[in-house]
Chain A
């Protein structure tokens, strides 16, 4: 099924005789395998409103992400949350849609400064499991009118409704960016260095640890400001470690897209997990994972781990947080619940919400466990 309008989408969902696999660009295979007829949103495409002076953009959920990024770049703007391109990591092809990005709440390194996808998302239209069109939020960035279903839809992986339209707050692309590369001995030193950097007033917009390369910190803004802050931050970091500064735009961009897209783990055999913890817990977590390879982003708050196929990492995660299995064969995604189980009381609430938004249980059933 490939609706070309919201009305047609609603009609298709209403008339569905069985489960539907909701698909944007098909660039992810996250969650439990879902059976059912494929419902593609690619036909709901196009930017319907873009006001650079108001920092707002509205687009059909099936709009290619590349089209949105190119349109924004034409006005010197961008999506704040730095959408990762995980096709290499996940071994997928296809073209990401903006609705898919929202459904996965996909956010990159800038999440620690600019927030997640859900923080830039200001409005949604969707068709719920009964085939009813619902809107929430809108096209203005300050809006507390009624409950915030916008956030609820972000990261719901198509289980509450099929997105038809999404609205974003966007931001200007800064004039310049620089990376600091700090030599560190291991995860403990890396997290300490990142915490120190995040505790400065220098507005670090990325803090990652790439084993073998070191801690990479990013500064963005007007050129003179970036240079000044890079100098001060390098002096601070340099008290305990060797520090290099990279300012060539191509090199900075390449480094951060590699971090964003987790290229360090791409093309290697095994399962990939994505773990969210309090940054200071990250070194112990990494030590206890027994992973073949790891990388850290979000100042240590995000750990990517490559492990032997079929491994359940969760018993090794002994601190608060959550672990999501993002790449594994289908049989593993049945044996190991890909999404971190919620506490019982919250699981009951989540299930209650799903049941009310999708009473027949036909939207990506079981994908989130």
Chain B
């Protein structure tokens, strides 16, 4: 992965920059020792690593502002970091950057049930937001797989989704407001506990901007009352096309499940070996979950089972207890872990129109044979967000490159059939150089103009999202 040449003038001024940061931060909030900075050299895209110039761990919006003001004056790039769980390299440092980690900003600032929101500092983890309100029967809906570890800051940067967004939407649909620090240190409030923007919807473009427009330190999030209950049904099919048709029929029938998850045979087998969830050995498996009171769940699952039976399933298993529900979800939730046991893997994140599913699965299968690399498919079927997992061996020379080439071909295919490169993980560095597959130069230019306004010197999270060649003039300016 090509990264820009570090700014030698910044590298040469490391001592001065660190000294200035030390003036505005407590000692324990600044990491400049070369060995200690290695803790920040990569995120969950571990194939790429680069220790930063230094790392800062502020505890307040005021400290973030002071840090950014100094970096702005010194012309130092800043890479914001939540929990470092990005699969796209969204928090990969450059050698001349300051890593700004928000992990210590983890307080709950306000919980308001009558108005149904919570205001938190953004270093707080996704799951602990729900944790702060679940005793009162509320929850925060977006639930990325990494929710135990990932921070709200990263969720906002990447506009993270999750398994339940068919019903509840993704981060942007559940974000009401932010406190954000601009690169020059200015603190702005965007949105709040009220709905919609008075002027342009800046919150809408901030969410999903991959930390390139500002550092979000506080967020107002929509919380919802927990449903009375939820129950999944598992169904197995002998062809993935049939599973796809079943998904489409369920949606057309007017049922809106909270989740429709799909796994193919390689994924089913791997997770069975790993987790022993008791899945049937079949070509395609769906997990469909609905919510409501017990009677409502019965009614919805009754309809869903009727539809499924028309597609001649090889297995149709409705959960009868909490324990069975847990088992049905167990395999799906351990899919990534199971793959990790077998091999190194690369997780893709393209979205396709649901109608293109059979064609895309067939062509991924063909490419898998051509490249000689196995693929397991697991994805959110209701919204077409695929997660093909390409298995490879990082210790075999050339295999990572082959895997990346295969992954790029799959993402090109997603765009070709009317979809996109990334549904919920973000572009980061991973998909940066494929952006021109999906976007014309004018489309990218329009996006970059927004960055020009928020961060005229292009210091925030540089070398991400936009192909280096496309952003070169701006980064050098």
What residue in chain A is nearest B414 (Cβ atoms)? Answer: A140
A147 partner residues in chain B, CB cutoff 8 A: 205, 208-209, 447, 450-451, 465
Q: Does B397 contact A (CB under 8 A)?
A: no
A174 partner residues in chain B, CB cutoff 8 A: 254
B447 and A173: CB pair below 8 A? no
B299 and A53: CB pair below 8 A? no
Shortest Cβ distance from residue B427 to the other chain A in the assembled complex, whole angstroms:
6
A152 and B205: CB pair below 8 A? yes
A145 to B437, CA, bound (A): 11
A264 to B446, CA, bound (A): 42
Residue in A135, A140, A221, A339 with the greatest tally of chain B CB atoms within 10 Å: A140
Given known A-B contacts A140-B423, A151-B172, A145 and B438 have beta carbons under 8 A apart? yes
| Chain B 183-219 interface 0/1 with A at a Cβ cutoff of 8 Å (1 = within) | 0001011101111111111111101110000000000
A147 to B323, CA, bound (A): 42
Shortest Cβ distance from residue A56 to the other chain B in the assembled complex, whole angstroms:
7
A140's contact among B159, B353, B425, by CB below 8 Å, is which? B353
What residue in chain B is nearest A141 (Cβ atoms)? Answer: B383
A340 partner residues in chain B, CB cutoff 8 A: 198-199
A339 partner residues in chain B, CB cutoff 8 A: 198-199
Of the 9-residue stretches B36-44, B70-78, B94-102, B221-229, which lies at the interface with chain A? B221-229
| Chain B 87-122 interface 0/1 with A at a Cβ cutoff of 8 Å (1 = within) | 000000000000000000000000011111000000
Given known A-B contacts A155-B201, A356-B453, A140 and B383 have beta carbons under 8 A apart? yes
Q: Does B469 contact A (CB under 8 A)?
A: no
Of the 9-residue stretches A239-247, A271-279, A305-313, A326-334, which lies at the interface with chain B? A271-279
Given known A-B contacts A54-B248, A141-B383, A145-B431, A225 and B443 have beta carbons under 8 A apart? no
B383 and A142: CB pair below 8 A? yes
B189 and A368: CB pair below 8 A? no
A141 and B384: CB pair below 8 A? yes
A128 to B445, CA, bound (A): 11
| Chain A 256-277 interface 0/1 with B at a Cβ cutoff of 8 Å (1 = within) | 0000000000000000000011
What residue in chain A is nearest B465 (Cβ atoms)? Answer: A146
Given known A-B contacts A146-B435, A199-B225, A350 and B200 have beta carbons under 8 A apart? yes
A160 to B450, CA, bound (A): 12
A357 and B446: CB pair below 8 A? yes
A146's contact among B186, B424, B447, B452, by CB below 8 Å, is which? B447
B227 and A356: CB pair below 8 A? no
Shortest Cβ distance from residue B110 to the other chain A in the assembled complex, whole angstroms:
11
Q: Which of A141-195 contact B (CB under 8 A)?
A: 141-152, 154-156, 160, 171-175, 192, 195
B295 partner residues in chain A, CB cutoff 8 A: 224-225, 228
B173 partner residues in chain A, CB cutoff 8 A: 115, 119
A171 partner residues in chain B, CB cutoff 8 A: 256
A135 partner residues in chain B, CB cutoff 8 A: 439-440, 443
A132's contact among B200, B228, B442, by CB below 8 Å, is which? B442
Of the 9-residue stretches A33-41, A61-69, A316-324, which lies at the interface with chain B? A316-324
Shortest Cβ distance from residue A32 to the other chain B in the assembled complex, whole angstroms:
13
A320's contact among B161, B194, B203, B227, by CB below 8 Å, is which? B194
A228 and B293: CB pair below 8 A? yes
A53's contact among B193, B199, B252, B351, by CB below 8 Å, is which? B252
B440 and A54: CB pair below 8 A? no
Q: Does A111 contact B (CB under 8 A)?
A: yes
Given known A-B contacts A140-B418, A142-B423, A276-B194, A195 and B446 have beta carbons under 8 A apart? no
A221 partner residues in chain B, CB cutoff 8 A: 296
A144 to B202, CA, bound (A): 16
What residue in chain B is nearest A225 (Cβ atoms)? Answer: B296
What residue in chain B is nearest A320 (Cβ atoms)? Answer: B192
Q: Does B243 contact A (CB under 8 A)?
A: no
A51 and B198: CB pair below 8 A? no
| Chain B 159-186 interface 0/1 with A at a Cβ cutoff of 8 Å (1 = within) | 1010001000110110000000010001
Given known A-B contacts A144-B208, A148-B207, A277 and B202 have beta carbons under 8 A apart? no
A354 partner residues in chain B, CB cutoff 8 A: 200
B192 partner residues in chain A, CB cutoff 8 A: 278, 320-321
Q: Does A200 contact B (CB under 8 A)?
A: yes
What residue in chain A is nearest B177 (Cβ atoms)? Answer: A320
Q: Does A280 contact B (CB under 8 A)?
A: yes
B452 and A356: CB pair below 8 A? yes
Q: Which of B5-61 contact A (CB under 8 A)?
A: none
Shortest Cβ distance from residue B296 to the other chain A in the assembled complex, whole angstroms:
4
Q: Does B385 contact A (CB under 8 A)?
A: yes
A225 and B292: CB pair below 8 A? yes
A53 and B248: CB pair below 8 A? yes
A144's contact among B158, B228, B384, by CB below 8 Å, is which? B158
B420 partner residues in chain A, CB cutoff 8 A: 138, 140, 143, 145
Shortest Cβ distance from residue A180 to the other chain B in the assembled complex, whole angstroms:
17
| Chain B 275-313 interface 0/1 with A at a Cβ cutoff of 8 Å (1 = within) | 000000000000000001101100110000000000000
11 cross-chain CB contacts under 8 A: A54-B248, A135-B439, A146-B427, A152-B204, A172-B251, A222-B300, A224-B295, A276-B195, A339-B198, A340-B198, A345-B182
Apart from A140-B383, A148-B208, A368-B200, what are 6 other A-B pairs with CB-CB below 8 Å? A140-B351, A140-B352, A142-B424, A151-B203, A278-B115, A353-B450
**B residues bordering A, Cβ < 8 Å?**
112-116, 137, 158-159, 161, 165, 169-170, 172-173, 182, 186, 188-190, 192-205, 207-209, 225-228, 247-249, 251-256, 292-293, 295-296, 299-300, 351-355, 380, 383-385, 418-427, 431, 435, 438-440, 442-444, 446-447, 449-454, 465
**A residues bordering B, Cβ < 8 Å?**
51-56, 75-76, 105, 107, 111, 115-116, 118-119, 128, 132-136, 138-152, 154-156, 160, 171-175, 192, 195, 198-201, 221-222, 224-225, 228-229, 276-280, 298, 301-302, 320-322, 324, 339-343, 345-347, 349-350, 352-354, 356-357, 368-369
